Amino acid sequence: MNLLKEYHEKKKKIKERLNEFKNLNKKDYLKEMIFCLLTPQSNAKKCFLATEEIFKIKNKTEENIKRILKTKTRFHNKKAKFVVEALKQWKEIERIVNNPNLNIVELRNYLADNVKGYGLKEASHFLRNIGKSDNKIAILDRHILNNLKSLKIIYENKIKTKNHYLEIERKFIDFSNKINIPLDELDLLFWSIKTGEIFK
């Protein structure tokens, strides 16, 4: 894999995509939060469509959400519960997310600990998608882990504990600094190498 060659070919599109995240309207933050709740072990594009459908219905009950998720995500029963809970929590989360004094790592850890259905990966994904990750946190999904393993930065593509996540994140950040590709850009580059597109 010639990473630098791939990066120079895709750099412009990657930067444009990250710019779109940074310029996202704050009223769409909730949508991104729900999208990131749906993505674990599911197809991102189907999760995006499911999120759009959820926000079109007026009555966001667990049953209605379950119906939408049934054909689009895995674990639809559990995720419907998470969505309902997140909608209830949103006012408090919104206040914290928009607090300019919170450091990004603290904010990520708060979300991972307080949003049902979120771990470090989902919280990082959400913050990246609203333009707040600032190259300081990593979305360690299977695409990233497989790429890091193939580059011999890590030797197994499974995360065992929170501390293990943080240890791999540190290695990913060090690698990003070493090859001089910002972390957020490297994330989208890995995603595009695996899927052929720059999504979210």
User: Per residue in 74-132, pLDDT tens?
Assistant: 999 999 999 999 999 999 999 999 988 889 999 999 999 999 999 999 999 999 999 99
108 in the same domain as 69: yes
Altogether, the residues listed in the chain come to a count of 200
60 in the same domain as 40: yes
Which residues are annotated as catalytic?
121, 141
Confidence of residue 1 (pLDDT cuts 50, 70, 90): low
Point out the domain boundary residue: 129, 150, 172: 129
Does a structural domain hold residue 200? no
Confidence of residue 153 (pLDDT cuts 50, 70, 90): very high
32 in the same domain as 117: yes
Of the candidates 150, 197, 151, 196, the residue with the CA atom closest to the CA atom of residue 178: 151
124 in the same domain as 29: yes
Confidence of residue 197 (pLDDT cuts 50, 70, 90): low
49 in the same domain as 11: no
Q: Are 147 and 193 in contact (CB under 8 A)?
A: yes
Of the candidates 181, 186, 175, the residue with the CA atom closest to the CA atom of residue 139: 186
- The count of structural domains within the chain is 2
Give the integer Cα–Cα distance in Å for 4 and 21.
23
Segment 3-32 mean pLDDT: 94
Does a structural domain hold residue 30? yes
Q: What's 178's domain CATH number?
A: 1.10.1670
89 in the same domain as 14: no
Q: What's 93's domain CATH number?
A: 1.10.340.30
Domain of residue 80: give its range: 25-129
What's the half-sphere exposure (Cβ side, CA atoms, 13 Å) at 65? 25
Q: Which residues are CB-neighbours of 143 under 8 A, at least 6 positions away?
A: 190, 191, 194, 195
